[in-house]
Structure 1
Amino acid sequence: MFYKSTRGSDKKLLASETILEGLSEDGGLFVPEQIPTINIKEVSKLERYQDVAFLILKNFLTDYTDDEISYCIERAYNFDKFDSKFVAPIFILNKNCSITELWHGPTQAFKDIALQIMPLLLSIAKDKNNVKNEIVILVATSGDTGKAALEGYRDVKGTKIIVFFPHNGVSEIQRLQMVTQEGTNTFSFAVKGNFDDVQNSVKSIFNDIILNKKLLQNGFELSSANSINWGRLVPQIVYYFYSYIQGLKNNLFDINSEINFVVPTGNFGNILAGYYAKKMGLPVKKLICASNSNNVLTDFINTGIYNRKRKFYKTISPSMDILISSNLERLLYDLSDSDAGYISKLMNQLKEKGEYKINNDLHSKIKDLFWADWADDVETKEQIYKDFKENNYLLDTHTAVGRTVYLKYISQTKDFTPTFILSTANPYKFSISIYEALFGKPEYDKSEFDLMFEIEEKTKVLIPAPLRSLKEKDIIHKSIINKEHMVDEILKILGIKS
């Protein structure tokens, strides 16, 4: 299988080359030339997450051997890394609604599922393509990707990983996870501005021809661990199929049933994986896109107009505080019958004018596939309180956005199709907001760690070990920089004169 750019470059790459390159030279995102189909009855017989992962990945990573794929899977998804044998277990709220917990990995966020396997795939890709240069992984993060990438690439031979996150734009726990990261090849920086500022700067670095030539001359080449890299996105398809298998095993529905998914998302990668799962044969009726107050995706799905020229909100679900949803480009490309010229036109309009409007035919296709709504911080906290009170289940702030939007969907559509809500993070990563949702504002200023232990005492929900130990760790990465200095910091790390 070959991969091509959404913006029309003639260059075609194998999967390993695609993972190494990350972003196309023309600024587009790599997509497979075709989406393979899978027999749903064959999938439904599988028991282990690892077996489902093998079936999905071997269909996309066709220049990897079966042994190479198995090697990566068994080392990524095991008890040393994940605290559940299911990797992504479900919690059944009721017969019509379950929660797929994607946060049982080492950093307690859904990004672990992709970022535990991606470094292994990259390492094999280097050998396959006889790459002698050191790979420099650049990451822009709104919270969870950064720590998951740092942990995944820590001390991986032949790589350096540099993470940039918005200063004061992530939770205190997320920040501490990144700034205490150990490893000889790991670096993280707080950048003044919001996530879109950081993400746009990283994209410009990838597209800077002169800079990239300079890096190559010094024995380095850039790659990405964000979901703009196909190697990050493809492992996420797996948990959609595995949710379905667990639903079947728990007699929530039968093999002839359709299912829905609710996905809290900002960059659109998580829900795009669900779209690909549907194209592969998973019986998905509706993909429900849940946004916070930065509801650019909700407005786009409902109107066909993507407009990033709006107020940016810092919310209690910071990983979704995004106004430029990069992965949407892949969806538009696929639904426009691979019209790269049209996609380039839309992306140029977004860059130059801050908005674009898709044609009626394309909008109609999106409306058939997706449903969208949003929830503000007040609604999010109310839902956290309600679900703990009624179901004894503690939602994190992002999952609570998804749960709120799902209830709006039910109210408006009366569609009781069996549904999975993707839970993207452990609630203890957002302790201040969780505490306020359950118990109101604390009587006096307390640290996020103090509140974490109070929540545990009052709810009896255990703090996971990786978060419990954070308080004792040393701060290693202390820099706060302007976005204009990101390139300087990269060159400094690599020992190259600016």
Structure 2
Amino acid sequence: MEKKYQSTRNKTIQFSASQAILSGLSPDGGLFVLPNLDDVNLDVSTVLDKDYQEIASLVINQFFNEFSENDIKKCVKEAYTNTFSDEKITPLKKVGDDYVLELFHGSTCSFKDVALSLLPKLVNLSAKTQHNTNKRLILTATSGDTGKAALEGFKNDPLVDMIVYYPNNGVSTIQEKQMQTQDGGNVSVVSINGNFDDAQSNVKRLFHDEELVALLKDHHIEFSSANSVNIGRLIPQVVYYFASYAELVNMDEIKLGEKIDYIVPTGNFGNILAGYYAQQMGLPINKLICASNENNVLYDFLKTGEYDTNREFKKTSSPSMDILISSNLERMLFHLSGGDAGYVADLMTQLKTTGKFKISDELLKTIQETFGTGYATDKQVAEQIDKVYNEKGYLLDPHTAVASYVLENSPEKKEKTVILSTASPYKFVQEVSKDIPDLAIDSAQDEFKLIDELEEKTNVYAPSQLKDLKHAPILHNQVIDIDEMKDIIIKQVGE
């Protein structure tokens, strides 16, 4: 039977997988979910002898059985053939007594590449399935990594135009240059005077702006999304949980069926939610530990049950996690409240009107059975980068260092643990260079000199795609106020 997706806020809104992928957001502002996760399952023993592409095909087929197995295999093959610098796509490295799952071997050196290599294929397959010949205008807000990965995935796609909004002075220098130098005749990159939450909230609002929707309709264009609010972006992230577990078994590090923990640096809650989906499919996961930076709204929520965004927004050394409104938390609330769409809708209304909500003690207890939490300050992140390099010879980026610190200081640590490493340290080369004093690197110098010097002194590979940015021309340098985001769309559609 074909699986249907419904809104987290209204059980009567139900879309097919292809409709949900094309729409991105539900018409009521909710997110698309499978109402019953019992409908997806995967026997872990069956993936032990599979490579990444084979595991991906099995996982994707469980969620998107509207598509044929051959079509899914074709999408997966196109996404993961000769597109990652490591043949394992997401290799697992043992660091001390724990393990680091490296998710940054794609074209933009970020974990977002894993899903955004596949999403464009799924979007085009969905359009073909729906016999939908309209063009798609993909709006994306980014805290640093999604933007470049999405741009790279969709560039020069004749069926897609894309606008990426990112916070001015809110991403690393390398992240910004990655976006500013993006080629492709169908992409636009715009910096906003505001933070990521401003960008994300306004993108969601623009999806339902009646004037814009009518304008797009006149031009045979429809909105879509590349953020993890799009179910087609989220589900491919489930794959590397299965792949990493299989690798641990194959390495004789664990026995089949043994439970392990995953610790995930997260701001928008998508990466860790993918782990929850893997657990619900049958992966033996004990705890999913949410690691936050100083914007620790998720930490407070998972401890107290109160989600309160009425606090200072902090710019940290881990900018991709500088988020106060975590979109995918809505999906988790839906699933763990027993699929109570009315309850979720009420919570989201409270969040929109007051900036906060509080869940019941019973629901909090249920959440805490699966999700642990911790956070790290910038000072602790810097110390962790230095400590792990000097003691274990491993170079962490600041986001992975958040997770590493939380793991090392977690009273909940009982099982073998995998740290999800979300970005190459060279994307944050100034911070990393500064945080390891023994290397004696002048972190104030040009980023590209820093890349060369850090590579030379650590013998840790610097990705060529980051080194090559040095000579890439700036193609996008527009800075706007938040209330001008709509004008950018009107201008692009009219051209």
TM-score by length of 2: 0.97
8 Å CA contact 2:44, 2:282 repeated in 1: no
8 Å CA contact 2:20, 2:32 repeated in 1: yes
- Correspondence 1:7-22 to 2 at 5 A: 7-8=9-10, 10-22=12-24
What residue is the counterpart of 1:4 in the other structure?
Answer: 6
319 and 147 in structure 1: CA distance in 2 versus 1, 3 angstrom threshold: same
Deviations 1:326-372 (A, max 9, x none): 00000001111111111111111111111100011110011111111
Shift of 1:40: 3.0
What residue is the counterpart of 2:34 in the other structure?
Answer: 32
What residue is the counterpart of 1:477 in the other structure?
Answer: 476
What residue is the counterpart of 2:436 in the other structure?
Answer: 438
In 2, the alpha carbon distance for the partners of 1:256 and 1:492 equals 55
What residue is the counterpart of 2:56 in the other structure?
Answer: 53
8 Å CA contact 1:252, 1:418 repeated in 2: no
2:424 to 404, 421, 426: 426
Shift of 1:217: 1.6
In 2, the alpha carbon distance for the partners of 1:245 and 1:60 equals 20
What residue is the counterpart of 1:23 in the other structure?
Answer: 25
In 2, the alpha carbon distance for the partners of 1:144 and 1:160 equals 19
8 Å CA contact 2:260, 2:416 repeated in 1: yes
In 2, the alpha carbon distance for the partners of 1:154 and 1:8 equals 34
In 2, the alpha carbon distance for the partners of 1:422 and 1:45 equals 20
Deviations 1:237-294 (A, max 9, x none): 0000111001001111101310100000000000000011111100100000000000
Partner-residue secondary structure (3-state), 1:84:
coil
Alignment-mate amino acid for residue 452 of structure 1: I
Of stretches 432-441 and 316-325 in structure 1, the one that deviates more from structure 2 is: 432-441
Moved over 6 A (4+): none
Give identity over the alignment, percent. 45
In 2, the alpha carbon distance for the partners of 1:453 and 1:156 equals 34
- Over the aligned positions, Cα root-mean-square deviation in angstroms equals 1.3
8 Å CA contact 2:273, 2:332 repeated in 1: yes
- Correspondence 1:279-428 to 2 at 5 A: 279-409=280-410, 412-413=411-412, 415-428=413-426
Deviations 1:405-434 (A, max 9, x none): 00111xx23x33111000000000001100
Partner-residue secondary structure (3-state), 1:188:
strand
2:81 to 54, 68, 78: 78
8 Å CA contact 2:264, 2:272 repeated in 1: yes
8 Å CA contact 1:46, 1:52 repeated in 2: no
In 1, the alpha carbon distance for the partners of 2:401 and 2:114 equals 20
In 2, the alpha carbon distance for the partners of 1:186 and 1:421 equals 33
Partner-residue secondary structure (3-state), 1:10:
strand
8 Å CA contact 2:41, 2:280 repeated in 1: no
8 Å CA contact 1:164, 1:188 repeated in 2: yes
In 2, the alpha carbon distance for the partners of 1:29 and 1:41 equals 28
Partner-residue secondary structure (3-state), 1:469:
helix
Shift of 1:442: 5.6
- Correspondence 1:227-238 to 2 at 5 A: 227-238=228-239
Shift of 1:38: 2.8
Alignment-mate amino acid for residue 385 of structure 1: D
Deviations 1:139-170 (A, max 9, x none): 00000000000000011121001100000000
Partner-residue secondary structure (3-state), 1:160:
strand
Q: How many residues align?
A: 491
What residue is the counterpart of 1:226 in the other structure?
Answer: 227
What residue is the counterpart of 1:466 in the other structure?
Answer: 465
In 2, the alpha carbon distance for the partners of 1:491 and 1:77 equals 35
Shift of 1:210: 3.0
Gaps of 5+ in 2: none
Partner-residue secondary structure (3-state), 1:76:
helix
Shift of 1:443: 5.0
In 2, the alpha carbon distance for the partners of 1:280 and 1:187 equals 38
In 1, the alpha carbon distance for the partners of 2:403 and 2:170 equals 21
TM-score by length of 1: 0.97
8 Å CA contact 1:398, 1:423 repeated in 2: yes
Of stretches 28-37 and 171-180 in structure 1, the one that deviates more from structure 2 is: 28-37
8 Å CA contact 1:7, 1:340 repeated in 2: yes
In 2, the alpha carbon distance for the partners of 1:90 and 1:12 equals 38
